[in-house]
C-alpha cells in the first residue's frame, strides 16, 4: 500500500508541512481541510471539481494511513507516517494525550467499511455525526477501557463512552433513505463518481417507499436491506448484494419469507418460481447478465409490481418485436388479458415469474429429429409428440385452449365462449403451419449436413437454406400476430426455399448415383477386353514365338479375325471413353445444382419505387427494379444482340443503347428488333435484403 499513498503524500507534503509549522498544533481533520483549502487557493486555473476530487482522494489516503498507524502501532509498516501522525497530533510523541479512532472500538465495522465502496469518499461521522477521532488523556484512556493494541471487542468497551454532542449514532430505518440521500441525491457530490442522483426520489415512489412514508411501515426494504450498511459494494462486484446473480436472493430475503409476506397477501414462492423460469436459469445457472432478474421488470429503487395489463409492456422491453406483433393481433386490442404470461407457462395456472422457454429452439428440434431416426423419414406425429415432450411451455396447439376451452369454468368463460371455436381452429392452424415449416427446414438441413460430410459440395445449398432459417426464425415471432393468411404465406416462402434446395440436392445426388451405376459397364468392358486380349495374346504367342512359328503377323488364321475386330472396336471405344471426359472437362464449366447462386442487390429500406439497380448474378448482369407492386429482376442482356440495357426512369422503360430497342417494366418488348422479352430472375426479400437467385424464372 505504500507506493500509492506515498505518491499522494509527496503531493501534499509541502503545503502540509507549511501548515504544521504555521499552526503549531492542529488535529488531523483541520489539517486536511486546510490542505484542501490551500490547494484550491493555489490552483485557481484548474477545474475546481477535478481539484476537489483529487484532494479528497489524497487526504483520504493519507488519513487512512494515519488511522492505521495510530490504531495499530505494532503493525505499522511505514514508521514515517507514525512520525507525521505524532507531529500532526500537535504534541510530542511522549505527550499526555493520545488520539483514538472509531476503529479502535468498532473494529469489525471499520474493516467492513474499509473494503466497501464508501472507503473512497465517506467517513464515519458523515453518517453517524461526531468527530472521526478523539483525543484522550491517559486517564481517560484508562477510564474508558481503551487499550488501543488489545481491545477489539465492542462488548469490552464501556457503554458509557461519550461520543460527543454532535454524535447522532445509528439512524433509525425511517431515517435511512434521507440519510443516504444527503449524498446520493446531491448532484455535486455524485457527479465526480458518475452516479445518478434519482434513487432517493425513485425510492419514495416505489411500493417500499410509499409504505414507509405513508404507513410508517418499517418492515419494508430500505437502502441498507439491499445495499448493506458498512459493507456497501459496487454493483459489478460479484460479492455485492446487488450483483445481478445475487439480486434474486437479496429480494428473497424478504419476498421468500412466508411470515413476512403474509400481511401483504404476497406469494412467497415467486423467488423459487423465478429460479425455475427460463430467465432465472439463464441468470443463476448460465451467468447470463442479459437475462432479466427481479429489478429488470420491477425496477430497483422504484420497485413496484407492473399492473395486470402492463405485463406485456414489461416483457416488450426486451422482446420488442414480439410485443409489436402481439399488439397487432386480436389480443392486442383487449387490454385486460394476460398477454405473455397466459401462454408462456408450463402449468395451466399462469404465474408471472415462472416463464418457460417459448418454444423449442431450432437446434434442439434438429437434435430431436436426429434422435428419432437419422437420415430416414420421421413420422410427423412421432416428431410432434417428441417436441411436445421436450417443450417447457404449454403445447403449441393447446395454448389457445387455456382460455378458449369451452369447459373452462371461470369469471370470463362466457366472454371467451363467443369466439372459442374460431380461436381453437385458428390456433391449430397456426401451430400446424409452424410445425410443418420447422419439420421441412429440419429435414432439409439434416440432408444438407449429411451430404456435406460426403464428397459432394453443398455450400450453395447450405447458404440458401440459411435464408430459410432466417425466415423461420422470423416466422416463429410472427405467429404472435395470429394472422392466419400472412403466416401461411411466410410458411410457403420457406417451403419454396427448401423445395429449391432439395431439388438441387436431388440433382447432385442423382449425379453421384449415376457415377456408381456407370461402374458396372466399365467393369464389364474391362473384363471382356482383358479376357479377349488374353486369348489374342495366346494366339499371338503361338504365331510369333517358338521354332515352328513361321507365319507373319498378317497370316493369323482367318477364323480368329473376329477376335481382332472385336478387340479393335473395344479399343476404340475405350479410347473414346477416355477422350470424351477430357474434352468435356476442357469445355467451359457450367454451374450445377439449379442455379442456387444468389446475389444481394441491396436493402429494401432505401430502395425507391421505380428505382432500378444493376447486380451481377452468377457473372451475368441483372437489373433489379422496384416496380409499383414489388421487386422484379430481369436479365440486362438485350435479347437482340447482347448489349446491356438500362432503366430509363423518365419513360419507365428498359432501353438498349444498340438499335433503340425498349422493353416494358415487365420485360416485354415495346419497340425495336429484339425477338424475345427479357428473361426474368427470381427475387425475394429476406429480412430486408433484396436477393436475386440465379435461376431464371
Binding site for another protein (CB under 8 A): 455-457, 459, 515-516, 518-519, 522-523, 525-527, 529-530, 533-534, 536-537, 540-541, 544-547, 549, 553, 574, 581-582, 584-587, 589-592
As to burial, measured by CB atoms within 10 angstroms (0-12 exposed, 13-18 middle, 19+ buried), residue 226 is: buried
Q: How far is the CB of 625 from another protein (least distance, A)?
A: 30
Minimum distance, C-beta of residue 462 to another protein, in the bound complex (Å): 13
- Residue closer to another protein by CB (options 590, 608) is 590
Of the two residues 549 and 627, which places its CB atom closer to another protein in the complex? 549
If one counts every other C-beta atom within 10 angstroms of the C-beta of residue 208, the result is: 24
Between 411 and 546, name the residue whose CB sits nearer to another protein: 546
Give 523 or 565: the residue with its C-beta nearer to another protein: 523
Q: Residue by residue, what is the 3-state secondary structure of 193-210?
A: HCCCCCHHHHHHHCHHHH
How far is residue 300 from each of residues 69, 246, 276, 322, measured CA to CA in Å? 40, 13, 22, 25
Query: For residue 142, which of 161, 164, 169 has the smallest C-alpha distance?
Result: 161
Q: What is the closest distance, in whole angstroms, from the C-beta atom of residue 694 to another protein in the complex?
A: 13
Return the number of the residue (559 or 590) whose C-beta is nearest another protein: 590
Phi, psi of 603 (to 5 degrees): -105, 140
Write down the least CB distance from residue 562 to another protein, Å.
Answer: 16
| CB closer to another protein out of 306 and 574 | 574
We find the least distance from the C-beta atom of residue 504 to another protein, in angstroms, to be: 12
Shortest distance in whole angstroms from residue 295 CB to another protein = 41
Burial class (CB in 10 A: 0-12, 13-18, 19+), 116: buried
Least distance CB 513 / another protein (angstroms): 11
| Closest CA relative to residue 356, chosen from 371, 369, 340, 370 | 340
Comparison of 460 and 471: residue with beta carbon closer to another protein:
460
Q: Which is nearer to another protein, 342 or 574 (CB)?
A: 574
CB of 591 to another protein, least distance (A): 6
- 465, 482 Cβ separation under 8 angstroms: no
What's the closest the beta carbon of residue 460 comes to another protein, in angstroms? 9
To another protein, the closest distance from the beta carbon of 403 in angstroms equals 52
Helices (H), ranges, 72-198: 79-88, 107-115, 124-128, 138-143, 176-184, 187-190
Q: In the complex with another protein, which residue's Cβ is closer, 144 or 536?
A: 536
C-beta atoms surrounding 597 within 10 Å? 17
User: Which of these, 493, 581, 566, lies nearest to 530 by C-alpha position?
Assistant: 566
Which one, 75 or 552, has the nearer CB to another protein?
Answer: 552
Q: How far apart are CA 516 and CA 559, in angstroms?
A: 38
DSSP-derived 3-state class of residue 598: strand
Least spacing, CB of residue 579 vs another protein, in Å: 10
Rounded Cα–Cα distance for residues 215 and 233 (Å)? 30
* Beta carbons of 77 and 65 less than 8 angstroms apart: no
Question: Closest CB to another protein among 541 and 668?
Answer: 541
CB neighbour burial string for 305-340, b if at least 16 within 10 angstroms, e if fewer: eeeeeebbebbbeebeebbebbbbeebbeeeebbbb
CA within 13 Å, CB half, 582: 5
Angle, nearest 10°, between helix axes 362-372 and 420-452? 70
Q: Identify the burial level of 635 via C-beta atoms within 10 angstroms of its C-beta, where 0-12 means exposed, 13-18 middle and 19 or more buried.
A: buried
CA-based diameter of the chain, in Å?
A: 145
Amino acid at each position: 500500500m505504500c507506493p500509492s499513498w506515498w505518491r499522494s503524500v509527496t503531493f501534499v507534503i509541502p503545503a502540509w508541512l507549511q501548515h504544521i509549522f504555521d499552526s503549531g498544533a492542529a488535529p488531523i481533520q483541520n489539517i486536511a481541510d486546510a490542505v484542501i483549502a490551500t490547494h484550491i487557493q493555489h490552483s485557481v486555473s484548474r477545474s475546481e471539481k477535478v481539484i476537489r476530487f483529487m484532494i479528497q482522494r489524497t487526504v483520504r489516503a493519507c488519513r487512512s494511513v494515519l488511522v492505521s498507524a495510530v490504531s495499530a502501532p505494532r503493525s505499522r509498516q511505514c514508521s514515517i507516517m507514525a512520525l507525521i501522525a505524532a507531529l500532526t497530533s500537535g504534541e510530542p510523541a511522549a505527550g499526555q494525550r493520545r488520539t483514538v479512532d472509531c476503529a479502535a472500538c468498532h473494529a469489525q465495522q471499520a474493516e467492513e467499511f474499509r473494503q466497501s465502496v464508501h472507503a473512497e469518499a465517506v467517513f464515519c461521522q458523515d453518517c453517524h455525526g461526531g468527530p472521526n477521532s478523539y483525543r484522550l488523556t491517559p486517564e481517560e484512556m484508562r477510564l474508558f477501557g481503551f487499550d488501543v493494541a488489545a481491545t477489539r471487542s465492542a462488548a469490552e468497551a464501556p457503554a458509557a463512552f461519550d461520543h460527543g454532542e454532535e454524535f447522532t449514532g445509528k439512524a433509525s430505518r425511517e431515517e435511512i433513505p434521507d440519510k443516504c440521500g444527503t449524498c446520493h441525491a446531491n448532484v455535486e457530490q455524485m457527479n465526480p463518481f458518475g452516479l445518478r442522483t434519482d434513487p432517493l426520489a425513485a425510492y419514495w415512489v416505489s411500493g417500499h417507499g410509499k409504505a414507509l412514508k405513508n404507513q410508517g411501515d418499517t418492515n419494508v426494504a430500505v437502502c441498507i436491506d439491499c445495499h448493506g450498511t458498512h459493507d456497501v459494494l459496487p454493483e459489478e462486484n460479484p460479492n455485492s448484494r446487488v450483483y445481478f446473480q445475487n439480486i434474486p436472493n437479496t429480494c428473497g430475503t424478504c419476498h421468500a419469507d412466508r411470515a413476512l409476506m403474509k400481511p401483504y397477501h404476497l406469494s412467497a414462492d415467486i423467488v423459487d418460481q423465478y429460479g425455475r423460469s427460463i430467465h432465472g436459469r439463464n441468470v443463476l445457472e448460465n451467468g447470463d447478465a442479459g437475462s432479466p432478474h427481479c429489478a429488470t421488470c420491477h425496477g430497483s429503487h422504484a420497485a413496484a409490481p407492473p399492473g395486470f395489463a402492463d405485463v406485456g409492456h414489461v416483457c416488450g422491453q426486451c422482446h420488442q418485436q414480439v410485443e409489436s406483433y402481439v399488439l397487432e393481433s386480436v389480443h392486442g386490442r383487449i387490454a385486460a388479458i394476460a398477454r405473455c404470461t397466459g401462454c408462456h407457462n408450463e402449468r395451466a395456472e399462469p404465474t408471472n415469474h415462472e416463464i418457460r422457454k417459448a418454444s423449442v429452439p431450432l437446434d434442439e428440434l434438429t437434435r430431436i429429429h436426429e434422435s428419432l431416426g437419422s437420415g430416414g423419414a420421421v413420422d410427423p406425429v412421432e416428431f410432434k409428440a417428441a417436441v411436445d415432450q421436450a417443450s417447457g411451455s404449454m403445447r403449441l396447439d393447446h395454448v389457445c385452449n387455456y382460455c378458449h376451452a369451452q369447459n373452462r369454468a371461470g369469471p370470463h368463460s362466457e366472454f371467451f365462449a363467443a369466439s372459442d371455436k374460431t380461436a381453437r381452429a385458428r390456433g391449430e392452424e397456426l401451430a400446424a403451419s409452424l410445425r410443418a415449416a420447422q419439420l421441412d427446414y429440419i429435414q432439409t438441413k439434416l440432408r444438407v449436413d449429411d451430404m456435406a460430410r460426403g464428397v459432394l459440395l453443398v455450400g450453395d445449398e447450405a447458404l440458401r437454406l440459411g435464408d430459410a432459417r432466417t425466415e423461420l426464425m422470423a416466422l416463429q415471432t410472427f405467429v404472435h400476430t395470429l394472422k392466419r393468411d400472412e403466416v401461411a404465406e411466410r410458411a410457403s416462402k420457406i417451403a419454396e426455399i427448401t423445395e429449391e434446395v432439395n431439388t438441387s440436392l436431388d440433382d447432385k445426388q442423382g449425379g453421384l448415383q449415376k457415377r456408381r451405376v456407370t461402374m458396372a459397364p466399365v467393369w464389364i468392358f474391362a473384363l471382356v477386353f482383358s479376357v479377349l486380349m488374353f486369348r489374342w495374346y495366346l494366339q499371338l504367342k503361338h504365331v510369333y514365338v517358338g521354332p515352328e512359328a513361321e507365319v507373319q503377323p498378317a497370316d493369323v488364321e482367318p477364323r480368329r479375325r473376329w477376335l481382332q475386330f472385336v478387340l479393335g472396336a473395344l479399343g476404340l471405344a475405350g479410347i473414346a471413353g477416355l477422350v470424351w471426359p477430357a474434352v468435356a472437362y476442357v469445355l467451359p464449366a457450367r454451374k450445377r445444382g439449379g442455379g442456387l447462386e444468389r446475389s444481394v442487390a441491396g436493402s429494401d429500406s432505401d430502395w425507391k419505387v421505380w428505382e432500378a439497380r444493376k447486380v451481377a448474378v452468377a457473372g451475368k448482369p441483372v437489373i433489379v427494379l422496384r416496380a409499383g407492386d414489388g421487386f422484379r429482376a430481369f436479365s440486362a442482356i438485350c435479347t437482340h444482340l447482347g448489349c446491356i440495357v438500362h432503366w430509363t426512369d423518365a419513360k419507365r422503360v428498359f432501353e438498349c443503347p444498340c438499335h433503340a430497342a425498349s422493353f416494358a417494366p415487365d420485360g416485354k418488348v415495346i419497340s425495336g428488333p429484339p425477338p424475345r422479352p427479357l428473361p426474368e430472375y427470381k427475387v425475394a426479400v429476406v429480412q430486408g435484403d433484396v436477393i436475386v437467385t440465379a435461376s431464371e424464372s
